């Protein structure tokens, strides 16, 4: 089991040129390094309507700051519910493809708002780009902390610009040449609703795609660049061959965006036994391979995760925090936690 500790607060300093507003002060670690905090001053807003009006008036500046820093945290804004968060998200363009065919189980909480994850509290979610197992993905994400955990439960982020600077040339060349193949599995339609303690592969494909129409599933898969493979028992395997690097559509920067490093995403002997037992029954076991279908070397995955560790920063959530991040320039994960925690997510376009 993961040891559960809380990250210390960040030591921030003023970023005076970040945004022109008397209601909000900008704070950062270093110029251009994520995250940038936009912290509302005491009594800056009388209520949510004023805060939303401020954000709408400064939307262009916020967009520019997300592009520059990779992640912007709005703190001390009067947001307390999923409905508040949903109203706030309406300032920005919605990612219209949504999460159909996504790898996680996420209940819908309000228009455009889902649970961030249902994975058990004792698990550490490795750093990743959202939907890095598909060719289509949300350009930006917004996270909202309704309730921070008693201990742990941070949403750490990794500066992918730093990751790319640290990436050894030899590993870069290997990843470029070999690409990735992500194999995922879904249980037959009509399977029991997946629970927090269940393995994600126990989720029925009708839950994953929000439909029981196979033709519609196949259409979604085409859009995601994924090959659906149906089995006689009603289960579904999803195979996606991808490049490991992606060019940012706004800046032209080249970023690592892949799931190939996540073989050890579920830690602990009990979890490994559960995963191995499940995969022994699958016709095409869930795994991350090279594009040729060869096993991805564990030592390579360890190299990548070490780079993520070197580029990662974490800090404690505060209730009401909203974090908007660039899904290519910044990766994210989740620390294990103790106590009740509620973090929500919305998917945004540019």
Q: Which two tokens stand for residue 329?
A: 């320039």
Work out the burial of residue 3: count CB atoms within 10 Å of its CB; fewer than 13 is exposed, 13-18 middle, 19 or more buried: exposed
Cα angle for residues 253, 93, 206 (degrees, 5° grid): 95
Give the pLDDT band of residue 24 (cuts 50, 70, 90): very high
Q: What is the Cα Rg of the chain in Å?
A: 20
Residue 254 forms beta bridges with which residues? 247
Handedness of CA 23, 25, 31, 37 (dihedral sign): negative
What does the pLDDT look like over 230-271, one tens digit per residue?
999 999 999 999 999 999 999 999 999 999 999 755 555 566
Q: Are 140 and 235 in contact (CB under 8 A)?
A: no
The whole model's pTM is what?
Answer: 0.95
- pLDDT tens, 301-341? 999 999 999 999 999 999 999 999 999 999 999 999 999 99
Domains assigned to the chain? 13-155+315-348 (3.60.130.10), 163-306 (3.60.130.10)
Contact 340, 149 (CB under 8 A): yes
């Amino acid at each position: 089991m993961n040891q559960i500790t809380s990250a210390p607060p960040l030591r921030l300093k003023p970023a005076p040129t970040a945004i022109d507003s008397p209601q909000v002060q900008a704070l950062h670690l270093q110029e251009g390094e994520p995250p940038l905090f936009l912290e509302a001053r005491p009594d800056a807003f009388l209520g949510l309507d004023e805060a939303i009006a401020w954000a709408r008036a400064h939307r262009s500046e916020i967009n520019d700051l997300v592009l520059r820093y990779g992640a912007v945290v709005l703190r001390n804004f009067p947001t307390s519910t999923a409905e508040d968060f949903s109203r706030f998200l309406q300032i920005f363009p919605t990612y219209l493809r949504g999460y159909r065919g996504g790898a996680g189980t996420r209940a819908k909480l309000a228009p455009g708002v889902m649970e961030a994850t249902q994975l058990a509290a004792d698990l550490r979610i490795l750093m990743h780009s959202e939907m890095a197992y598909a060719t289509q993905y949300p350009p930006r994400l917004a996270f909202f902390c309704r309730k921070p955990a008693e201990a742990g439960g941070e949403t750490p982020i990794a500066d992918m610009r730093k990751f790319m600077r640290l990436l050894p040339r030899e590993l870069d060349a290997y990843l470029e040449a070999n690409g990735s193949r992500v194999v995922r599995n879904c249980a037959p339609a009509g399977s029991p609703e997946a629970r927090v303690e269940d393995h994600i592969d126990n989720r029925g494909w009708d839950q994953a795609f929000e439909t029981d129409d196979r033709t519609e599933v196949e259409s979604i898969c085409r859009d995601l660049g994924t090959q659906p493979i149906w089995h006689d028992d009603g289960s579904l395997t999803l195979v996606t061959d991808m490049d490991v690097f992606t060019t940012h559509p706004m800046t032209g920067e080249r970023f690592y965006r892949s799931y190939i490093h996540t073989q050890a995403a579920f830690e602990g002997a009990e979890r490994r036994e559960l995963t191995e037992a499940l995969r022994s029954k699958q016709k095409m076991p869930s795994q991350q391979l090279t594009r040729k279908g060869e096993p991805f070397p564990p030592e390579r995955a360890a190299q990548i995760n070490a780079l993520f560790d070197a580029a990662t920063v974490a800090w404690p959530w505060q209730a009401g925090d909203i974090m908007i991040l660039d899904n290519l320039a910044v990766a994210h994960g989740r620390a294990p936690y103790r106590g009740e925690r509620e973090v929500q997510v919305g998917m945004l376009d540019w």
